[in-house]
């Protein structure tokens, strides 16, 4: 299939995900990689800083590329959920000229959104519907019913809603409103090889830096516990040395 050799290997039916579909190898210090799936890290970027771009960063950037098909720099967009992916979406959006209205229910994430360049930040649980300003498009980086409900309220006519956040269970979508307001509900799944290369280029060009903390491998269980408690902003990067 073309996905297996076109730079979109994440959609290849015969792909193998190390550490997930494959039984072992996810914590290896070295691995063999197919050149059709690898990219060069910018020469001045530290490896620890590059790591978050491999998943969260390219996912955020790919969402921005999709939203840019229907909007232009200078317009205002929403980013709902300002955690490990959302804050990078804010940074890329600002680099591409967008004005960002960031939404989150956690104060620490709201502060991260401010630091990432959001022009306006709001908590949806304390914002009445009458005060919600509709934006040209929305990126949903939180995986819950509340986030997708907010996207429908905060997106203008004909606007794209880019779905990143995956709820743990099925949620309901107001199809009538989807049709009446001519929304474009678009899914995004990580990004292509080309999009990762572009994300690295923009990060190096605009000085986009991820929020992360470096840990040693023996601290990995502690990291999982912190993630389950919602105590991790950005990403934890583990040194395999």
Domain assignment present for residue 102? The answer is yes
Domain total of the chain:
1
Domain assignment present for residue 235? The answer is no
- For the domain that residue 149 is a member of, what is the CATH number? 3.40.50.720
- Provide the pairing of β-strand 137-140 with 160-163: parallel
Residue written as tokens 């905060």? 154
Domain assignment present for residue 161? The answer is yes
Tell me how far apart the alpha carbons of residues 155 and 240 are, in angstroms, rounded to a whole number: 43
Tell me how far apart the alpha carbons of residues 152 and 185 are, in angstroms, rounded to a whole number: 10
Domain assignment present for residue 122? The answer is yes
The DSSP call for residue 182 is T
Domain assignment present for residue 210? The answer is no
Residues of the chain above pLDDT 70, percent: 95
> pLDDT grade, residue 208 (50/70/90)?
very high
DSSP readout, 35-49?
Answer: GGG--PPPTTS-HHH
Domain assignment present for residue 180? The answer is yes
Could you report the per-residue pLDDT of 150-198, keeping only the tens digit for each? Answer: 999 999 999 999 999 999 999 999 999 999 999 999 999 999 999 999 9
Domain hosting residue 128, numbered range:
56-187
48: helix, coil or strand? helix
Tokens describing residue 64: 């921005």
Tell me how far apart the alpha carbons of residues 91 and 200 are, in angstroms, rounded to a whole number: 13
- The Cβ of residue 166 has, within 10 Å, a number of other Cβ atoms equal to 10
Tell me how far apart the alpha carbons of residues 118 and 112 are, in angstroms, rounded to a whole number: 9
- pLDDT of residue 125 exceeding 90, the answer is yes
Q: Name the residue among 208, 238, 222 with its Cα closest to residue 90.
A: 208
Could you report the per-residue pLDDT of 30-62, keeping only the tens digit for each? Answer: 778 878 778 999 998 999 999 999 999 999 999
- pLDDT of residue 227 exceeding 80, the answer is yes
| pTM > 0.75 | yes
Domain assignment present for residue 130? The answer is yes
Domain assignment present for residue 206? The answer is no
């Amino acid at each position: 299939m073309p996905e297996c050799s076109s730079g979109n290997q994440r959609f290849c039916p015969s792909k193998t995900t190390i550490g997930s579909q494959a039984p072992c190898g996810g914590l290896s210090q070295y691995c063999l990689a197919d050149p059709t799936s690898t990219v060069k890290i910018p020469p001045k970027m530290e490896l620890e800083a590059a790591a978050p771009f491999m998943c969260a960063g390219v996912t955020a950037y790919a969402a921005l590329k999709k939203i840019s098909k229907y909007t232009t720099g200078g317009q205002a967009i929403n980013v709902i959920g300002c955690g490990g992916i959302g804050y990078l979406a804010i940074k890329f959006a600002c680099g591409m000229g967008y004005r960002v209205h960031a939404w989150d229910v956690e104060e620490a994430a709201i502060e991260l959104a401010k630091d990432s360049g959001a022009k306006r930040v709001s908590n949806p649980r304390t914002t009445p519907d009458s005060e919600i300003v509709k934006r040209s498009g929305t990126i949903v980086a939180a995986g819950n019913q509340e986030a997708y409900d907010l996207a429908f309220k905060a997106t203008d006519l004909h606007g794209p809603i880019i779905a990143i956040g995956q709820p743990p269970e099925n949620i309901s979508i107001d199809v009538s409103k989807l049709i009446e307001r001519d929304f474009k509900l678009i899914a995004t799944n990580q990004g292509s090889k080309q999009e990762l290369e572009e994300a690295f280029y923009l990060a190096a060009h605009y000085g986009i830096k991820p929020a992360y903390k470096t840990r040693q491998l023996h601290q990995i269980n502690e990291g999982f516990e912190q993630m389950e408690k919602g105590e991790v902003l950005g990403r934890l990067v583990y040194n395999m040395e």
